[in-house]
Chain A
Amino acid sequence: MAELAVAVRDPSALPGGDPVLNDMTIQVATVNGSGSQSANTVLLRTIFQMGVPVSGKNLFPSNIAGLPTWYSVRASKDGYLARKKEVDLLVAMNAETAREDVAQVRPGGAVVYDAPLGLAQLRGDLAFYPVPFDKLVGSITGDAKLKKLLRNMAYVGVLARLLELEMAEVERAIHKQFGKKAKALELNLAAAHAGFEGAAALQKRDPYLIRRMDATRGKVIVDGNSAAALGALFAGVTLVTWYPITPSSSLVETLIGYLRKYRIGPDGKATFAVVQAEDELAAIGMVIGAGWAGARAMTATAGPGISLMAEFAGLGYFAEVPAVVFDVQRVGPSTGLPTRTSQGDVLSTAFLSHGDTQHILLFPATVEECFSMAVEAFDLAEGFQTPVFVLSDLDLGMNNWMSDPFSYPEQPIRRGKVLSKEDLDRLGEFARYKDVDGDGVTYRTLPGTDHPAAAYFTRGTGHDEHARYSERAEDWEGNLERLARKMDGARSAVPAPIAAGKGARLGVLAYGTSHHAIVEARDELRRERGIETDYLRVRAFPFAREVHAFFESHERVYVVEQNRDGQLAALLKLDLAPELAARVRSIAHITGLPLDARSVTEELAMMEGR
């Protein structure tokens, strides 16, 4: 964590000041592979169960065991879910990073640390709580390996004491985490209590407290990958292919679990097929083949996989084959930051492949949208007979988010323009690429359709309306124009943007997980700088008409995103009339960490000269 804390001196946060209730970021610094994930989930759930809005972010290395990892839990009475730059409370368990970690705590904050690390002398403006974790868990087990794991649950107990978390809720969260594993359950309960008791001797010298609220009733906690998996399950996916890649693997792994549980009949027959492919080329190839043959087919990947899928994406576009691709964006390529979040695939995916290709992109911002857009993606792919990319990201996909429960899809599954044997009997003929309805979307047949006129020959480019081989200029041009018309039609079929605000001069435009920082940054801008903004959250490409209207009604529009070059801003400039394109202002942030409100507030205010 090379990021510097912003030292905002807040008198209420100093010892002896007023308590700070339900508004803090707790950062746990540990080592990956040490079993801290369970403890962090229990901490998150405890706060959630106490009715306090909470979010958790796992900042982890590309490594299985032994490298530094951080988990931050943000409790926010105001319901802000974005990452917060400032750390209020640190749990320092990793000797390697402890000094750097302590340096980042905001003045007036607190540090719980493993006593042997001896951190208390590092700063004078923090409350230090040394805890002898090894000693605390020593009485629970003699097993060195178990001890290492239990140290983590012990810090949850310590925090429960310091923050006044209700131990009954801690226990409930532990039960939920370990469920039927009796031994693990017993040990972890004991560790949490050991921490709680061990911390009894600590004298509270920080202002942070969690008090029961009623802001999480009926809500669920889930990660975006699981939500997308659920969406695919209810979309009626029938073929899933994948090649393991962080951060998308858990999407498919979770989906496999759900499919096995809910989509195998009493006769033992599966209404789905899952294939772990040899690479992403094969994964998308199978999806294209299956989509062509009529299955609802999908794959999930990340940037490197998207690059490999380029040729097939173009084939899908030109041969007009439905496909759904979940891209859980990360930083790339190769080694470096594969476990860090990004919105860096937007521009390349919009035009993925060679020739004049263009793809439908969906931008979920919440876990709820991971679910609903997964359902919509299949309908759009089959409706427009083209690949659809759902651009999630690591922050959304792999972190736990609080959400309203998902709504069961009310719309029946829409399979698009497919002609059956009976249709062909009635029509007598069929031309695969003939624009019968004038919307650019043509009729198709599926292989196996028992009619002598059903078959057609599928190839990428170079075909006439009857799918016959053609290199004639008129055929080629006509086909390209029809495809453009089809994509233009998609503007009004994709999820519409969501607007907020009351007619301000300035606009903010964002998409995906940047949304959460915008919600908070707009409040900060209003409160701290007196800057009013309207906000448009774009949810798909090609852009809906409302996006153009937003530019028409605002003097300047700040396009906020998590990449270096302002990729969505670039896409907008291509789509907007020149006078509107001139209103684009780009705020592009890429640190590998989820976007925080403070960064947006400061940059926007600076650009506005305020």
Chain B
Amino acid sequence: MASAPPATPRTNRIGLSVLDYRGLKTTLCAGCGHNAISERIVEAMFEMGVRPERVAKFSGIGCSSKSPAYFLSRSHSFNALHGRMPSVATGALLANRTLIGLGVSGDGDTASIGIGQFVHLMRRNLPIIYIIEDNGVYGLTKGQFSATADLGSTLKTGIVNELLPIDTCALAIQLGATFVGRSFSGDKKQLHAMLQAAIAHRGTVMLDIISPCVTFNDHEGSTKSYAYVKEHDEPLQELSFVPSFEDISVEYAPGTTVDVALHDGSRLRLRKLEEGYDPREKVVAVRRLMEAHAQSEVLTGVLYVDTSAESFVDRLHLPDRPLATLPQEAVRPPRAVLDEVMEALR
């Protein structure tokens, strides 16, 4: 790369190069799955031609929550409190509905300390992309089990997890998230398409991305190691994403694909690898997740999608202009209103 001749970098549809989407140098461990996810976020935002200034990044506390510093430096970012990213994101995205919200959390940040805010975020269908970088352990505090660790998975020290995991995807589907997927930081193609579709979707997108912790949870006996996930990965579909601004038509034999029209006019094409799986059916999705657990499969793909549900900002009847920047005339009622109220109190 260093010896390559200087060339005009490729630009996207708004004239930005991929460098405009980069962040600071990562301080996470070499080989950390989270770094791969950061790369995919940069690519997806670049490919989709999202203006970085329109994105607001949110995170809680943990290794995963540090990662927003490593992509999209031209976007505002809020590294909030442990487990409390959902509320901060909710407030900010209601204050400015024109922002594209991107939340990055971890399995500890979401499934333990943050489970309360997580479930309530899901049930509101707030437009946000909520990513869990899921490695089954607490990294920053050096390797304790999290609530997504599988039954029987072992720590380096030999300690065995004796509790059932929380399946954040099953929870999200049940609670009202409208785009739910599971992927693997090592599956570049699937994750790329899933993130592009996430950007096109309007509503709560919840992506649980298995992202192995090379330092504390990548050993024999762990069910969140690179080797284990590669071996047990059970993709539901082959994903391809067709952006609204590209005119591509790919023919598939009828009945082998599910085509989902997304809010911005993009299309998500799911070539079925599994007979009978339709991600628009909630009950099927949850049942299949339960089966996957029983069979020790890591089920990946778009598990559930609903493009018809009303989002939280729609339900609140917010104006197109951000609440944050409404002028005084719009938010301070005139003198006559105070007079009227005072009169009624006499």
Contact = CB atoms under 8 A, between A and B. Distances in A.
A265 B318 CA distance: 10
Nearest to B338: A408
Given A285-B88, A448-B99, A271 B331 contact: yes
A269 interface: yes
A263 interface: yes
Q: Which 10 A-B pairs have the closest CB atoms?
A: A285-B87, A289-B91, A294-B324, A236-B331, A295-B95, A290-B91, A286-B91, A447-B76, A289-B88, A293-B95
A258 B338 CA distance: 11
Interface of B: 20, 51-54, 56, 58, 68-69, 73-81, 84, 86-96, 98-99, 116-117, 119-120, 316-319, 322-326, 328, 330-333, 335, 337-338, 341-342, 345-346
B345 A282 contact: no
19 contacts: A238-B323, A263-B333, A269-B318, A271-B319, A272-B323, A281-B116, A286-B90, A287-B91, A288-B88, A289-B87, A289-B93, A290-B324, A291-B91, A293-B56, A293-B322, A294-B322, A295-B94, A446-B76, A446-B324
A277 B88 CA distance: 12
Interface string A270-286: 11111101110111111
A278 B69 CA distance: 29
Contacts of B89: 289
Contacts of B99: 293, 447-448
Contact of A281 (B53, B117, B319): B117
B90 A269 contact: no
Interface of A: 218-222, 230, 233-239, 241, 258, 262-265, 267-275, 277-279, 281-297, 311-312, 315, 319, 405-406, 408-409, 412-413, 445-452, 454-460, 469
- The B contact surface, by secondary structure, is helix
A292 B333 CA distance: 24
Contacts, number: 215
A448 B346 contact: no
A311 B338 CA distance: 37
Contact of A290 (B94, B316, B319, B325): B94
A285 B96 contact: no
Nearest to A457: B77
A219 B346 contact: yes
A282 B117 contact: yes
Given A279-B116, A457-B69, A292 B322 contact: no
Contact of A409 (B93, B116, B332): B332
Contacts of A221: 345-346
Contacts of B335: 408
A271 B78 CA distance: 25
B81 A286 contact: no
A312 B80 CA distance: 9
Contact of A455 (B53, B79, B87, B345): B53
A469 B73 CA distance: 13
B317 A269 contact: yes
Nearest to B58: A289
Contact of B95 (A277, A289, A311): A289
